[in-house]
């Protein structure tokens, strides 16, 4: 209270014109995404501890009334919880009771089919705002009423494409992750296409008050800019090379004025014959001046990425002891299973990093990087090799799995894709995933990790002659949809891609057309398809496209489809996990782990199997582990809370030992990072339960627990 009054007096006197917003956090709140600007998922609360965690009961449950996957880590400010629904609509509820205060309802449905990991809160005096994204727009609402802020952009929203250039205006651009605040700036992540139609992944800062673009950092440098020599000449003008975007979020050191930005791979993700070179600033940790966007330092985790090895989560800002000195550091987890730790000011690695030779590509036109950086410490938290001996011995079709393995390349975590198939391990979803890591003030990192192999091949695109033999709708499907949903439209439920067979029995034409145009969940929008192309695709999916290929089809539709931009020279066989006949991972367990890593020494404190498959457990096959999405939360009382598995469990562990202390069944799986906070002297822990992913049933609620 005293601190707030002093700040208010100084502000009114004109002595704090650059006052940081948001206001300093109350120890009982969870004011920012993942707990704070350091993204450490840490709370100083101690009311819930090892002695009473077993008495946790549901305190309240809020139903959003639009079920589906929810990845949101809600924030709690002044006794109000702010979150997002499955259809990316923000809401506010009383954090002590779950009573709804307001909820935005966009009835157009035009841009509400993505996923969101949360919102950002900003205030200055009586001006209190919630900032969130929906489709290609950044919105500002009055935090008390949910009404748009008239002076922000146009009618309360501003375009996420503002600093991407004219060529990006018709391309897919959204954001799944809350922006990062520095003073009056909001620095925004972007989610883009991963194909040859990707927009450039410039890092952009917007003025929180006006919505105006403040600065943009180009991650694909223009001629004369640092890093331009790591790309072919003219790449910045190549419409088939884009991305290198931050999608997973950032951390900010507000004292130093540095924002730490992990960037993803350049697009197309799996073939780089048209972007030879190391490709700065893709796959980097960028340290940027938060006021200007100028580069302070960078480190590249993957040279010339052709395996979608983008950093999957925000970095953690930590303080550790090295060589007897306390050092402010930044730690980044990766899909490969590595933790890189750097001096926050200089970018100097705190542990040695070795450039290790990696396999060459056998795809014509591709030139894989000869080496990749691998830290000497900490040891990888995910297995790095997959040999024939690692195939699950209990798989009912093990002989088939062995035969498939022998036909494929499997040479470690940087095995390039091949026409004959390659084992991608750790898989495309890690190792670490977007949930990221928790870190306590002692410098101990807590991280859940996946161990799922994927089996993917890289082949030349469908020939023009082959495409010409297809109907217009089938042609669009083959070039746009088949890599995920399969050539026979059967999908891949284990990889998150539903079957489209019989879609007309489940959805209307209008719904399907809207999803194609605007995206849904983790599916990108195909906004560049023309109206005729979308119409032809829907007709093909609904089974009533009667025209013969190239002859009796409507001339306008044939012409527009034929003029569509061709795909990249190569395309992947599909996002396919390497599974046995029963749908379980082809690799022997564990399939998921929970890890405690001492960032002071680089050594592990403990490692335990995380998650289970109930059907296997019922047969006595326990301790398998499972994939998980959403990260842990760590508290000063010594607890680690985590959900994220398809079994729908919410668990609490002893952070010192990794011992399971408590678990409960959620109404639907919580593929999200929890939050913990205190209101009226009572501590709560809350998690979003949307289910849907990994075949889990759908849900629509946020569930808060407290000691009974």
| pLDDT by 10-residue block (mean), the chain, 708 residues | 38 36 62 98 98 98 95 98 96 98 78 83 98 96 98 97 96 97 98 95 98 98 98 96 98 98 97 97 98 98 98 98 97 98 98 98 97 98 98 96 98 97 97 98 98 96 68 79 78 71 83 75 69 80 67 41 51 93 97 98 98 96 96 98 98 98 98 98 98 95 98
Quick one: pLDDT at residue 546? Answer: 62
Q: Was domain 462-566 assigned CATH 1.10.760.10? A: yes
Residues 6 or more apart in contact with residue 168 via CB below 8 angstroms = 161, 199, 200, 242
End-to-end CA distance of the chain: 29
User: What is the rounded distance in angstroms from the CA atom of residue 250 to the CA atom of residue 219?
Assistant: 15
Of 652, 676, 638, residue with least CA distance to 53: 652
Q: Is residue 398 within 8 Å of residue 392, measured between CB atoms?
A: yes
Q: How far apart are CA 51 and CA 481, in angstroms?
A: 52
The confidence score (pLDDT) of residue 565 equals 40
**Tens digits of residue pLDDT in 154-175:** 999 999 999 999 999 999 999 9
Runs of H (alpha helix) within 481-518: 482-485, 509-518
Q: How many CA atoms lie within 13 A of 346 on its CB side?
A: 5
Of the candidates 144, 72, 152, the residue with the CA atom closest to the CA atom of residue 102: 144
Question: What element of type H or E holds 422?
Answer: strand 422-424
- Could you read off the pLDDT of 63-103 as tens digits, one per residue? 999 999 999 999 999 999 999 999 999 999 999 999 999 99
pLDDT number for residue 6: 36
251 three-class SS: strand
Q: How far is it, in rounded angstroms, from Cα 144 to Cα 149? A: 11
Ranges of each domain in the chain:
1-104+434-451+591-708, 462-566
Q: Are strands 42-43 and 682-691 parallel, antiparallel or unpaired?
A: unpaired
Model pLDDT, residue 307 = 98
CB 175 within 8 A of CB 120: no
From the list 490, 693, 684, 694, the residue with the least C-alpha distance to 62 is 684
């Amino acid at each position: 209270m005293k601190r707030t009054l002093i700040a208010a007096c100084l502000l009114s006197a004109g002595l704090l014109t650059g006052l940081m917003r948001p206001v300093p956090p109350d120890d009982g709140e969870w004011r920012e995404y993942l707990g704070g600007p350091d993204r450490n998922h840490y709370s100083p609360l101690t009311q819930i501890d090892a002695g009473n965690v077993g008495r946790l009961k549901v305190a309240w449950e809020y139903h959003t009334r639009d079920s589906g996957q929810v990845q949101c880590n809600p924030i709690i400010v002044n006794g109000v919880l702010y979150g997002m629904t499955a259809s990316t609509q923000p809401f506010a509820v009383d954090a002590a009771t779950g009573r709804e205060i307001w909820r935005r309802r966009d009835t157009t449905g035009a841009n509400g089919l993505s996923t969101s990991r949360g919102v950002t809160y900003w205030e200055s005096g009586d001006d209190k705002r919630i900032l969130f994204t929906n489709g290609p727009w950044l919105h500002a609402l009055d935090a008390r009423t949910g009404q748009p802020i008239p002076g922000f952009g146009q009618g309360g929203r501003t375009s996420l494409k503002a600093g991407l250039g004219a060529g990006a205006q018709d391309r897919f651009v959204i954001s799944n992750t809350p922006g990062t605040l520095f003073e009056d700036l909001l620095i925004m992540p972007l989610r883009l296409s991963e194909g040859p139609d990707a927009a450039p992944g410039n890092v952009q800062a917007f003025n929180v008050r006006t919505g105006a673009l403040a600065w943009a950092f180009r991650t694909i440098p223009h001629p004369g800019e640092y890093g331009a020599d790591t790309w072919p000449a003219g790449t910045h003008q190549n419409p088939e090379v884009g991305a290198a975007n931050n999608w997973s979020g950032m951390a900010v050191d507000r004292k130093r004025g540095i924002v730490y930005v992990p960037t993803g791979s350049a697009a197309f993700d799996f073939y780089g014959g048209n972007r030879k070179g190391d490709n700065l600033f893709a796959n980097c940790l960028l340290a940027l001046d938060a006021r200007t966007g100028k580069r302070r330092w960078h480190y590249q985790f993957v040279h010339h990425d052709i395996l979608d090895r983008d950093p999957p989560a925000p970095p953690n800002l930590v303080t550790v002891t090295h060589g007897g000195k306390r050092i402010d550091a930044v730690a980044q987890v990766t899909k490969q299973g590595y933790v890189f730790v750097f001096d926050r000011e200089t970018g100097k690695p705190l542990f040695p990093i070795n450039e290790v030779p990696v396999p060459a590509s056998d795809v014509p036109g591709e030139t894989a990087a000869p080496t990749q950086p691998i830290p000497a410490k900490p040891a990888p938290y995910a297995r790095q090799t997959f040999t024939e001996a690692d195939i699950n011995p209990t798989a009912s079709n093990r002989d088939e799995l062995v035969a498939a393995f022998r036909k494929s390349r499997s040479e470690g975590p940087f095995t390039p894709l091949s026409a004959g198939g390659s084992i991608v391990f750790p898989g495309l979803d890690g190792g670490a995933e977007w949930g990221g890591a928790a870190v306590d003030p002692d410098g101990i990192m807590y991280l859940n990790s996946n161990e799922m192999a994927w089996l993917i091949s890289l082949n030349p695109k469908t020939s023009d002659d082959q495409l010409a033999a297809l109907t217009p709708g089938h042609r669009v499907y083959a070039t746009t949809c088949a890599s995920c949903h399969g050539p026979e439209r059967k999908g891949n439920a284990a990889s998150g891609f539903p079957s489209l067979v019989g879609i007309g029995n489940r959805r209307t034409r209008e719904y399907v057309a809207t999803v194609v145009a605007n995206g849904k969940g983790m599916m990108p929008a195909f906004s560049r398809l023309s109206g005729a192309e979308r119409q032809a695709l829907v007709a093909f999916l609904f089974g009533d496209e009667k025209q013969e290929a190239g002859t009796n089809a409507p001339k306008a539709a044939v012409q527009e489809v034929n003029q569509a931009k061709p795909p990249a020279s190569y395309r992947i066989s599909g996002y396919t996990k390497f599974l046995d006949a029963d749908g379980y991972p082809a690799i022997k367990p564990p399939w998921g782990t929970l890890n405690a890593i001492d960032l002071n020494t680089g050594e592990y404190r403990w490692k335990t199997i995380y998650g289970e498959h109930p059907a296997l457990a019922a047969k006595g096959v326990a301790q398998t582990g499972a994939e998980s999405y959403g990260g842990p939360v760590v508290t000063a009382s010594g607890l680690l809370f985590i959900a994220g598995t398809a079994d729908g469990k919410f668990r609490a562990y002893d952070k010192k030992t990794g011992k399971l202390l408590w678990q409960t069944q959620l109404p639907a799986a919580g593929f999200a990072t929890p939050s913990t906070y205190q209101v009226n002297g009572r501590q709560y822990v809350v998690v979003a339960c949307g289910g849907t992913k990994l075949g889990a049933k759908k849900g629509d609620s946020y569930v808060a627990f407290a000691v009974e």
